[in-house]
Amino acid sequence: MRIFGIHKGSNSLSVCDTQIVVSKDDGVCTYERYTASGRAVELVMSSCNVGVYPAQPIYAPERLTSYVMIKLPSPVVVGPESSIRLRLGVGYDVVIVSGEASRPMDFFACGKAKYALYGSPSHGVLVRYLEAVRDDSLPGQKPPWRFMLVEAVIRNETSDSLAVSRIVYSARNAPIYYTGEGRVYGPKITMRLSSSFTARVSVEEPQDLPLAARPSPIHYAPRTTTLSLNVVSIRVQEYLMRFGF
């Protein structure tokens, strides 16, 4: 069953323990979203066509930050001047648009949506907080996936062994890919440890994607959300972690 993409006419689909229903009655289209607690959202629309897409986890419950903190399943010790490659399952958001409109009409988290402060109250940054899982079993799981697949490379450029328990990256314009049936692929994240408490984190296009994978047209930009159905490659800024890892 196709989950992500444009759905035309009356439809009902389920993703991340959430039911999406689009119906038409007497020429009026209605969008409804249901959770375990009942109906959470009801919207009347002029068209019954909706787009359902995965997005970086910076939308739900509110668009307050473009930074994401990934809490690793367990601390990772990286030896001096060495590196390690991790495959992680990380939560993502689902964004709903009306047809091919540029603004989301609804969005929700695939999992719990939490915020945290990275750094001090006076100089830190608000981040979306996500606890990652080991992904070894994720590629074989039946879609739709509850996590996006993320490759993280941690490089220790110092002469000491260092332990890493979290990664903070800028999700603004960070790539995310999907297949129609619900497989989701996040960016490749590279973390360079430059001291015992600082690191540079950059994101780039994921590698070794299946042929059916397409870039999500939903990405975040300052003060607005933009949608482009012809996204090919997205350039992403580097983030300096200076409050420890």
Compute the distance between CA of residue 27 and CA of residue 47 in angstroms, rounded to an integer. Answer: 9
Q: Which amino acid is at 85?
A: R
Residue 1 lies in a domain: no
Token digits for 167? 């990664």
Angle in degrees, CA 112, 8, 57, rounded to 5 = 20
Residue 18 lies in a domain: no
Residue 226 lies in a domain: yes
Residue-level pLDDT, tens digit, the chain, 245 residues: 789 999 988 889 999 999 999 999 888 999 999 998 899 999 999 889 999 999 999 998 888 999 999 999 999 999 999 999 999 999 999 999 987 766 889 999 998 889 999 998 988 999 999 999 987 767 677 888 999 999 999 999 999 999 999 999 999 889 999 999 999 999 999 999 999 999 999 999 998 899 999 999 886 543 333 444 444 444 557 899 999 99
Residue 84 lies in a domain: yes
- Domain of residue 62, residue span: 53-241
Domains held by the chain: number: 1
3-state secondary structure of 138: helix
Half-sphere exposure (Cβ direction) of 78: Cα atoms closer than 13 Å? 23
Residue 32 lies in a domain: no
pLDDT of res. 21: 95
Residue 69 lies in a domain: yes
Residue 108 lies in a domain: yes
Q: What is the pLDDT of residues 132-145, one digit of tens each?
A: 998 776 767 788 89
Residue 40 lies in a domain: no
